[in-house]
Amino acid sequence: MGTDFAKLGFSTSFTVLDWCIVIGYLIAVVGIGVYIRKYVASATDFMVAGRGLKTFLAIATMIGTELGLVTVMYSSQKGFTGGFAAFHIAFAAAIVTLFVGVSGFIVVPLRRLNVMTIPEFYEKRFGRDVRILGGVILAFSGILNMGLFLKAGSLFVMGVTGMASEVHLKIVMTVLLCMVLLYTTLGGMVSVVVLDYIQFVVLSFGLVFASILSIRYLGWTNIVDTVTMEMGESGFNPFHEAGFGWSYVLWMFFMGLVSCAVWQTAVIRACSAKDTATVRKMYTLSSVGFLIRFLIPYFFGICALVFIANTPSLRAVFLSAEGKANPDLSLRAMPFYLSQILPTGIIGIVTAGMLAAFMSTHDSYLLCWSSVLTQDVVAPWFKKGLSSSARMLLTRVFIVAIGIFILVWGLWYPLKQDLWDYMAISGAIYSIGGFTLLAFGLYWKRASRTGAYLALFSGFLALLGLSKVQELCAPMLAPIKSRFGIEGDIPSAVIGLIVLALAIVLMVVGSLLLPDEKLNRYHAEREES
Amino acid sequence: MDWAKIWTFFFFLSLSAFTALAVIVTIGGFFDIRSLFRDLSQAKEQQPRRSE
């Protein structure tokens, strides 16, 4: 795993001073998180911070969660492999988030219904069984999606600190995970939002500073010229077939919508907001955050490419004769680049911010998926319901269980594609069905339980987008590949779009053929309001 | 279409907008946290009274 760059003459600027900054910062952050537990009195405080988030804090926590170390890692990898053309993903995310903020699409009616999780809406709209199934699929997809977070985080630490020993690194990552588990299980959402805020402040200014430093170090003209030389037109034009292509761009617009309006970790922020006006403001202003969380890391990835392409000894390690890098190496390019250009002290602050971001994403995701398992999978089985303290205890147990799973999965799963594509497709198992149920359930009266079941199950076909699954299903996929002249893997974007179209068709056909017999409680409530 | 110029303009515009947003959210968020703690403390104080 570890290429020792010190042997190539590239030592990191990360020193003892930086370690002190990182450790001091992390201890302070965890201490604050644990201290805040005194404000938690009920399950609502624990899961949605008493629904008391005002606009600025809501924006900070939304961006803080989504601008995690993992986002920075997979985005910089996309910038490294896709060049400036990858900027279209940031553009799509911003446009779609702005649209959601202005129109209130999906998130405003959800907030109005006072639900804590999306499957809770499934129950109100389609019944209890759909809620349980939706909860299982959502948690499965979400936990699988965060399965490689730890690996991405570990590669960042390796790249920045110059560590080459895998054993030391696993110890560091396990310690980090334990710290996250400690304050998330104790403080719940109140700790999460406050720590998200701190992380937002440190990381936002750190990223802007590192961007300015990169431009000064490499020169803008040099950056553009090197990308032109390495990638040609496909390094800039997102529609160029040698690069991303139309289907990928279209898939990214859908993923942008999913990230902000369908993905539970973002939606839980809308559910935690004070009122629907706050939800709209939060999404409108967060569109800049959703843009930048991709854009700056893409830029770092591009800078890493420029730095490596112009250094022959590094070029030989990172880039093959065709100019392509394998996924593990392309993930390491950005942290290695930062370790070379950031001065001592500053690299400590940026790393502390990144590790806080790593923890912040973990805490939000852990809380989110454990809340879904508690609220939507276990609680509905109890006719009298679960007490507030039982829910909190169960959520904490799930947090620890998921933490153990991601530790094991992150170290075991072999990544054979860009991390972003892995995440997009593992998330799609839920988000394709989730989007269909939300959009049709909220805006089409005739959407029925049968249509909902069919749409939810169809999401599993998105698994075909994973390289490992395509390898396992090679004999089955061979005729399709030869029919359409596809060499190598079928692009995950194409699979995602086909499955999305299928889910929509199944929802419409299922609802028309087998409609629900009577108006359920959801319609009655909506009509009353 | 000159994509290099488009992305250059797009990048610097976005960076400026985000810097402005970061300053505003940092200041506004600080006051929101104070207000959140105040609300939660009040709710916690009222909880035993309600149960009485």
Find chain A residues with C-beta within 8 A of B32's C-beta. Answer: 53-58
CA B6 from chain center: how many Å? 29
* Contact status of A49 with chain B (Cβ, < 8 Å): yes
Distance of residue B48 Cα from the nearest chain A Cα, in angstroms: 11
Give the residue with greater pLDDT, A309 vs A40: A309
Check A204 against B24: CB less than 8 A apart.
no
* Contact status of B23 with chain A (Cβ, < 8 Å): no
* Contact status of B14 with chain A (Cβ, < 8 Å): yes
A39 pLDDT more than 50: yes
Distance of residue A201 Cα from the nearest chain B Cα, in angstroms: 6
Find chain A residues with C-beta within 8 A of B29's C-beta. Answer: 56-57, 59-60, 197, 200-201
Question: For a pLDDT cut of 90, what percent of chain A falls above it?
Answer: 30
* Contact status of B43 with chain A (Cβ, < 8 Å): yes
Among B15, B33, B47, the residue with its CB nearest the CB of A57 is B33
ipTM of the complex: 0.84
Among A190, A228, A236, the residue with its CB nearest the CB of B40 is A190
Distances (CA, A) of A82 to A61, A77, A86, A135, B51: 29, 8, 5, 35, 60
Find chain A residues with C-beta within 8 A of B47's C-beta. Answer: 41-42
Distances (CA, A) of A453 to A132, A276, A436, A506, A509: 11, 29, 11, 9, 12
A143 pLDDT more than 80: yes
Across A231-240, A266-275, A341-350, A399-408, which has the greatest mean pLDDT? A231-240
pLDDT of res. A329: 80
Asked if residue A63 lies in contact with residue B47, where contact means CB atoms within 8 angstroms, the answer is: no
* Contact status of B41 with chain A (Cβ, < 8 Å): yes
Check B24 against A56: CB less than 8 A apart.
yes
Burial class for B48, CB neighbours closer than 10 Å (0-12, 13-18, 19+) = exposed
* Contact status of A482 with chain B (Cβ, < 8 Å): no
Q: pLDDT for A366-393, tens place per residue? A: 888 888 898 888 988 887 778 878 887 8
Q: pLDDT for A260-285, tens place per residue? A: 888 887 887 787 777 888 889 888 98
* Contact status of B13 with chain A (Cβ, < 8 Å): no
Q: pLDDT for A199-252, tens place per residue? A: 788 888 888 988 999 999 999 999 999 999 999 999 999 999 888 999 999 999
A to B CB pairs, distance under 8 Å? 111
Across A16-30, A91-105, A188-202, least confident range: A188-202
Check A295 against B11: CB less than 8 A apart.
yes
Measured N-to-C along each axis, helices A388-412 and A149-161 cross at an angle, to the nearest 10 degrees, of: 60
Q: pLDDT for A496-521, tens place per residue? A: 999 999 999 999 999 999 998 765 55
Distance of residue A303 Cα from the nearest chain B Cα, in angstroms: 14
For A61, the token pair is: 């926590």
B50 pLDDT more than 50: no
Residue A510 contacts by C-beta under 8 Å, 6 or more apart in sequence?
A448, A450, A451, A452, A453, A454, A455
pTM: 0.82
Search chain B and give the residue with CA nearest A234.
Answer: B3
* Contact status of A236 with chain B (Cβ, < 8 Å): yes
Check A87 against B18: CB less than 8 A apart.
no
Residue A73 contacts by C-beta under 8 Å, 6 or more apart in sequence?
A152, A153, A155, A156, A297, A331, A334, A335, A419
